Amino acid sequence: MTSALLSLVQWMSPAFPTGAFAYSHGLEQAIAMGEVSDEAGLSQWLRDILHHGAGWNDAVLLGLGLQGHALEDLDAHARALSASAERLRETLEQGTAFAKAQAQMNGTDEPAEVALPVAVAQAARGMDLPREEIIALFLHSFASNLVSCAVRFVPLGQAQGQRVLAGLHPDIAQIAAKASHAGLEDLAGAAFRADLGSMLHETLDVRIFKT
């Protein structure tokens, strides 16, 4: 079990080659528009994404994949739930990079294009770990990457960024516990400003991040 946990931590690490640092999930647009300009604003923005946006839906898709649901079906749902071209690009590019790194580590064939939560589900299915823990680490990695984006672009101090991330721990634990027993009927999104931000980001004049 310890070995499995260490493997999962490795996969969720910023050092794992998914290129996650290049994606802001629309946060760059929110910062450029002044919607996120300080520690409190970032905390609320991330909390909404986790509870009502892609954080929740990806957690449900990952949980379903870990339960043994058909991965092709879950991948189709992940694509359909992407509210913009940038969001679709984000999940597919990161998911495919994750699966490719897994294939290279294991000496298996190059993977097909796949959404990120589905790629993680496929890799983690055989792990002797509770679904809740796998989902929690996945969500923590997602939130940590966005905090890093804000630290660089708002900019926020490192201490402020870490306070935001630590403050999200109870939310991540709650969402992971709920998502570990969720079904397809629980998929839903209501983070409209984040979705609009990802659409507007496509035409942002000066961009640091891909999304």
What pLDDT shows up at residue 192?
Answer: 82
Domain 24-203 annotated CATH 3.30.70.20: no
User: What DSSP string runs through 59-125?
Assistant: HHHHHHHHHT--HHHHHHHHHHT--SHHHHHHHHHHHHHHHHHHHHHHT-PPPPP--HHHHHHHHHT
CB 75 within 8 A of CB 115: yes
Q: What is the predicted pLDDT for the residue at 12?
A: 96
Residue 5, SS3 per DSSP: helix
**To the nearest whole number, what is the mean pLDDT of the chain?**
93
Q: Quote the DSSP letter at residue 156.
A: -
Q: pLDDT at position 201, please?
A: 87
Whole-prediction pTM: 0.95
pLDDT tens digits in sequence order for the chain, 211 residues long: 799 999 999 999 989 999 999 999 989 999 988 999 999 999 999 999 999 999 999 999 999 999 999 999 999 999 999 999 999 999 999 999 999 999 998 888 778 899 999 999 999 998 999 999 999 999 999 999 999 999 998 998 999 999 999 999 999 999 999 999 999 999 998 888 888 888 888 887 778 888 8
Can you tell me the distance from the alpha carbon of 188 to that of 60, in angstroms, rounded to the nearest whole number? 10
Of 37, 15, 16, the residue nearest 28 (C-alpha) = 37
Cα separation, 121 vs 153, in Å, equals: 31
The model's pLDDT over 166-183, given as tens digits with 9 standing for 90+, comes to 999 999 999 999 999 999
Say what the pLDDT of residue 148 is: 95
Supply the pLDDT for residue 209.
86
Q: Please, are residues 36 and 42 in contact by the beta-carbon 8 Å criterion?
A: yes
Measured in whole angstroms, the distance separating CA 22 from the mean position of its chain's CA atoms is: 13
CA–CA separation, 50 and 81 (whole Å): 15
**Owner of token pair 């509210």:** 83
Both tokens of 62, joined, read 């990952």
Hey, what long-range contacts does 3-11 have (CB within 8 A, 24 or more apart)?
A: 4/127, 4/128, 4/129, 5/129, 5/133, 7/127, 8/124, 8/127, 8/129, 8/133, 8/134, 8/137, 9/137, 11/98, 11/102, 11/120, 11/123, 11/124
- Tens digits of residue pLDDT in 86-100: 999 999 999 999 999
Whose tokens are 């209501």? That residue is: 190
Under 8 Å between Cβ of 23 and 145: yes
